[in-house]
Amino acid sequence: MNTNRKILTALISLSFCELISGPANAHTMWINAVDYMMQPVIGHSRSEEEKGEEYIARTNVYFGFGHRYPVDDFMPKTILNTYYLLDGNHNKKSLEPNPGGFLATTVRFEKPDPYIVSAALKPGYYTMHVEEGRVKHRMGPKTGLKAVILSLYYEQYAKALLAVGDTSDHAFAKPLGDKIEIVPLKNPLNMKAGAGEILPVQVWFNGKPASFCKVYATYAGFSTKDDYALATMGDSKGIAHIRLAHWGPWLIKAEKTLPAAGELKDKCDALHYTATLTFEIK
């Protein structure tokens, strides 16, 4: 029994240390957009519901959730904590997701600007333990449980980069202030695939550059599984470099794991933080 437990623990720990860390069944959250880059258009035809509204561009955004980019599992609205549209000055406008499995939302823009759609999951605990010879999953702390295999406190944050009209090369280089965040030091919406361009990104954690975080990147169509096209690590200043080898939508993910300390040691074994960033390369 002890040998089997050790093997099971090793396998599960390995899977959580790799690409699929996060909450419920190790799901990761990200934000997709139908159009990431738009040109302002005057005189849009309006539906009956939109009459009287003024906007120069619009797109639909929706959530990816799971392991397979760009879409995988449905994400329940109940686990969403914050959901915003931010303009180039980081002025916030709350977004309300429509009902449905991917929580698709129409976003309308009133002026040319760089924009960010930002979301965060409600923080929580995820625990795996053995009970009556079976591995069980619990969306809660390990308190009171025996034979705990793994127990995490998690937080997840996501950003999608959008633009209406032309935007500067450093349009998205200012952090929003999320617990963990991927900040592009160059504007990926101005970069071209196949030109050998490399996107520098900086991972921030607790308001400071995060040293030596794991960083993964992939593009739509690379794989139908949970594989990433690139895996790397940020340097001592939290900077990683992503080679943009393909056109289309991209996903970058960063992870940071800390051991539980103090009172949290009674609730979980580790603290796990995840950030995702999505954008499009032409």
Tokens of 8: 């099971």
pLDDT interval class at 20 (50, 70, 90):
very low
Partners of residue 180 on adjacent β-strands: 205
Tokens of 84: 């915003």
- Comparing 45-54, 131-140, 235-244, 270-279, the range with the smallest average pLDDT is 45-54
SS3 content of the chain, % helix, strand, coil (to 5): 10, 45, 45
User: How large a percentage of the chain has pLDDT more than 70?
Assistant: 87
Residue with more model confidence, 98 or 15: 98
Tokens of 62: 């929706």
Q: What is the pLDDT of residues 258-268, one digit of tens each?
A: 999 998 999 99
pLDDT for position 120: 98
* Rounded Cα gap, residues 152 and 162, in angstroms: 32
- What's the pTM value of the predicted model, to 2 decimals? 0.87
pLDDT for position 50: 61
Given a cut of 50, is residue 24 above it in pLDDT? no
pLDDT for position 18: 36
CA triple 240-244-245, angle to 5 deg: 130
* Rounded Cα gap, residues 8 and 109, in angstroms: 50
Given a cut of 90, is residue 6 above it in pLDDT? no
* Rounded Cα gap, residues 152 and 131, in angstroms: 18
Residue 47: how many other CB atoms lie within 10 Å: 8
Given a cut of 60, is residue 13 above it in pLDDT? no
Summarize the confidence of residues 262-279 as an average pLDDT: 95
pLDDT interval class at 44 (50, 70, 90):
low
Tokens of 106: 């129409």
CA-nearest of 185, 191, 183, 187 to 210 is 183
Residue 206: how many other CB atoms lie within 10 Å: 9
Cβ-Cβ contacts under 8 Å for 17 (sequence gap 6 or more): 257
Q: What is the pLDDT of residues 194-225, one digit of tens each?
A: 777 999 999 999 999 999 999 999 999 999 88
What mean pLDDT value characterizes the chain?
88
Which range is most confident: 15-24, 30-39, 70-79, 99-108? 30-39
CA-nearest of 185, 41, 66, 64 to 117 is 64
Summarize the confidence of residues 54-80 as an average pLDDT: 93
User: How large a percentage of the chain has pLDDT more than 90?
Assistant: 77
Q: What is the pLDDT of residues 165-205, one digit of tens each?
A: 999 999 999 999 999 999 999 999 999 987 779 999 999 99
Residue with more model confidence, 2 or 216: 216
Dihedrals φ, ψ of 79, to 5°? Answer: -95, 0
- Maximum Cα–Cα distance across the chain: 70
DSSP 8-state code for residue 130: E
pLDDT for position 52: 57
* Rounded Cα gap, residues 24 and 251, in angstroms: 20
Residue whose entry in the numeric block shows the structure tokens 């921030």: 204
The one-letter amino acid code at 65 reads F
Given a cut of 80, is residue 139 above it in pLDDT? yes
